[in-house]
Amino acid sequence: MKFFLDSANLNEIEEIASFGLLDGVTTNPSLVAKENGQKNFKTIIKKICKIAKGPVSAEVISTDYKGMIKEGEELAKIDKNVVIKLPMTKNGIKATSYFAKKKIPVNVTLIFSCSQALLAAKAGAAYVSPFVGRLDDISSNGMSLISDLSEVFLNYGFITEILVASIRNPIHIVESAKLGADVATLPYSVIMQLFNHPLTDIGIEKFLKDWNNK
């Protein structure tokens, strides 16, 4: 399972890369805005690509087809690892087909149903991003969407990768891994939570105590 970091913060990206855990990065307009990056979006993406050395999703702001193509083409020029992130709309799917024909990878974002993911896969998306946390937030079961997608993609041998997004806790990752999801994009805080177990801390404390009592 590949780990992407869901962040536009360079310090966080550098830290996760230093653990050797970073396979790629996903950003979205909210994450970029959090870093005050609206004006220097391309510079931020360029810097992220330098650190990440793997796929980096950069999302278009346009909602019309022509605007998506223009923005996507500009973003794709930034670095060979840039993945164009397009929303799950009619224009987004049309633009996905356009970029797929040009062999430019697309991540279709804001996926909330199996039927939406099917459309994105058929249009040639490199990744689909089902948002599990936001589904859980409205009392829907995010993980059952991942289970459905895994089954359907396997049935037809789609090469589109399932990129589990909107992850809120370690259980989301473990469940995604059990279902064979290709990628999980994790907020920094959730990656940090993955390290922890109280028995590990107690174990280290005991080993050191025993060692020093010798």
The residues carrying an active-site annotation are: 85
Nearest distance, CB of residue 129 and ligand E4P, angstroms: 5
* Smaller CB separation from ligand E4P, 26 or 160: 26
Distance separating alpha carbons of residues 182 and 2, to the nearest angstrom: 6
* Smaller CB separation from ligand E4P, 189 or 205: 189
Nearest distance, CB of residue 106 and ligand E4P, angstroms: 13
* Smaller CB separation from ligand E4P, 129 or 176: 129
Nearest distance, CB of residue 152 and ligand E4P, angstroms: 20
Q: Which residues bind ligand E4P (CB under 6 A)?
A: 6, 26, 28, 109, 129, 131, 133-134, 165-166, 185
Distance separating alpha carbons of residues 49 and 54, to the nearest angstrom: 7
Q: Where are the alpha helices (DSSP H) in the chain?
A: 10-18, 29-34, 41-52, 65-76, 90-101, 114-122, 132-137, 142-156, 170-178, 188-195, 198-213
Contact, 194 vs 171, CB < 8 A?
no
* Smaller CB separation from ligand E4P, 91 or 107: 107
Collapse the DSSP code of 129 into the 3-class scheme (helix H, G, I; strand E, B; otherwise coil) and give the result: strand
List, in order, residues 6 or more apart from 179 with CB less than 8 Å away. Answer: 143, 146, 147, 150
Contact, 108 vs 86, CB < 8 A?
yes
Nearest distance, CB of residue 73 and ligand E4P, angstroms: 21
Distance separating alpha carbons of residues 113 and 117, to the nearest angstrom: 7
